[in-house]
Amino acid sequence: MNAPLKTCVLVSGNGSNLQALIDARRSGGLNFEINHVISNVAKARGLARAERSGIPTSVLDHRAFTSRDDFDRALALLICTGKPDLVVLAGFMRIIGPEVLEPLRGRMINLHPSLLPLYRGVDTYRRAIEAGDEKHGASMHFVTEELDGGPVISQVVIPIQPGDEADSLAARLSPMEHRLVVATVEFFSRHRVECMDGSVFVDGSKQEQPLQLQDNDRLT
Ligand code: GAR
């Protein structure tokens, strides 16, 4: 077996997806490690979750920097100190600028609560309901210059039910996001997943569609 995938997780708030990764790792059999958790918010619950599990944490408060570029440069340095194989944005609510992207291109992935390319940005649940969509979901995609616009690696789909409101839909999607994030990181630990020419390649083969989360928590 290869060396465990060294993963750095970035959070801004609750960190329930980070917790899902911690729990999955603890339950064993998965070939990844969480080596570093970084937050731009000192009070983020995600930091406490990491600390409780003995994972090194860092806080980089964006408000302490005079420019976005300065913050981005410091963030890139902080991430790269741990030499991660993969950087997971799990509820990290900052736009990733070129200073961060450049050294980490192809190694940084983001969890987004929509079936991308639908509904980039915020308020995805409400927008999907108001559009009359029959389904919603979450995506993991490579981070690129374009906000929520990088190639989509994996998705999970759930139905929108009659009477759903943004909160009920979000509550139903959340546990599925947890499963998606774990399955995707696990997938990276077993496969060569690359971002090239605006597409996702798995072990050298171009993916025509995002991988889908199956009932057995595998991606196919
Ligand atoms: C998740 O629902 C994730 O999809 C969303 O933030 C939440 C974080 O939850 N991310 C975005 O909206 C990014 N655009 P968590 O802090 O409990 O893991």
Could you give the domains of the chain? Answer: 1-104 (3.40.50.170), 113-137+151-220 (3.40.50.170)
Structure tokens at 217: 């928590």
Mean pLDDT value across the chain: 97
Which atom of ligand 1 lies at the shortest distance from residue 113's CA? Answer: 4
Instruction: Tell me the mean pLDDT in the region 41-46.
Output: 98
Residue 145 CA to ligand 1 center (angstroms) comes to 19
Instruction: Tell me the mean pLDDT in the region 197-201.
Output: 97
**Residue 155: predicted pLDDT:** 98
Residue 111 CA to ligand 1 center (angstroms) comes to 7
**Residue 219: predicted pLDDT:** 98
**Residue 150: predicted pLDDT:** 98
Residue 92 CA to ligand 1 center (angstroms) comes to 7
Judge whether residue 107 has pLDDT over 90: yes
Instruction: Tell me the mean pLDDT in the region 30-43.
Output: 97
Tell me phi and psi for residue 76, to 5 degrees: -60, -45
From the candidates 36, 112, 136, 178, which is the catalytic residue? Answer: 112
Reported confidence tier of residue 1, pLDDT bands at 50, 70, 90: low
Reported confidence tier of residue 57, pLDDT bands at 50, 70, 90: very high
Pocket of ligand 1 (CB under 6 A): 11, 13-17, 46, 90-91, 111-113, 138, 177
pLDDT digits 0-9 by tens, 70-100: 999 999 999 999 999 999 999 999 999 999 9
Tell me phi and psi for residue 47, to 5 degrees: -65, -45
pLDDT digits 0-9 by tens, 145-160: 999 999 999 999 999 9
Amino acid at 217: D
Judge whether residue 118 has pLDDT over 90: yes
Whether the Cβ atoms of residue 12 and residue 110 lie closer than 8 Å to each other: no
**Residue 99: predicted pLDDT:** 96
**Residue 2: predicted pLDDT:** 81
**Catalytic: 112?**
yes
